[in-house]
Structure 1
Amino acid sequence: MLTVLPEYTKILGETFSQEVFPREYHQANSLGKTRAFANLEQADIEPCRADFVKQFGIKAKLVMPILQENRQADKQ
């Protein structure tokens, strides 16, 4: 079960433009690349991406992809 406190916007199932979530970010995540910013005000990221996450009240960011192997391939 996924929950979000009422004062926060739910984003599960939403899609985002290439400007804020480019294909190369998705590819890096799928390969397990991690990324962390303790303070988005001081982070070395594009202003449009910083503005995008700030609208959700985000002040720091940790990207830790959770990867799962395709178990079907192992059974063949």
Structure 2
Amino acid sequence: MNLPSISGDPNHENSHPNCDRTLQSFVDRLKRVEDRDNLVQTTLNRLRKTLGCDRIVLYYFYRRWEGQVTFESLRYIDLSIYGSTGADDCFNDTYAQLYLQGRIRAISDIETADIDPCHREFLSSLKVRANLAVPVLTDRGLWGLLIAHHCRDTHAWTEAEIEEMKRAAETVSNAPAIREL
């Protein structure tokens, strides 16, 4: 979508420059949101195809360690978890601190991994068998998590896949559309 520039006619007696500036500010913000959405969705679609996984999601933190899945790319529509808010009891300050320090969590099989039972139950409820989570960090802290799921089978994450996820998380976190919102 191409959003127009908004400007009034200064020769018109009913022209309101403040209204024009307010409307232009709104249009500019809408454009930044559109840029962010396009960047994130394109990144998720590319990652899912590159990694060959069933689902890639962006979990965005809108409050301290509270968030939801705001974007997803799916191999099968029945795997959608769009809007999911996660298991609040599982994600706490301890986990957040690890991700703030750049933790990357690769789980090849949630059934055999040494993880908290709360986390296992949560992942199982989402039909996850293998999970790869990478932090999206901005100047303001932990903005979100970029997460890849294999849902039909286990998967041993390779170093190349982990690096690809890290690069994608950095691309998202460094985008002006993310930093300026």
Q: TM-score, normalised by structure 1?
A: 0.69
Return the structure number with greater strand share: 2
For residues 28 and 68 of structure 1, the distance between their equivalents in structure 2, rounded to whole angstroms, comes to 15
Which letter does structure 2 place at the counterpart of 1:54? S
Gaps (5+ residues) in structure 1? 72-76
Higher relative contact order (CA 8 A, sep 6+): 1
Matched residue, 1:8: 79
More helix by share: 2
For residue 30 of structure 1, report the CA deviation from its aligned partner.
1.7
1:40 maps to 110
Task: Give the drift of 1:13.
Answer: 6.8
Q: How many correspondences in the alignment? A: 70
**What root-mean-square deviation, in Å, do the aligned CA atoms of Structure 1 and Structure 2 show?**
2.4
* Larger of the two Rg values belongs to structure: 2
The residue identity in structure 2 corresponding to 1:68 is: T
User: Runs of 5+ in structure 2 lacking a partner?
Assistant: 1-40, 42-70, 141-173, 175-181
Structure 2 residue aligned with 1:31: 101
Deviations 1:18-70 (A, max 9, x none): x2112111121122111111001110011121011110011111111122346
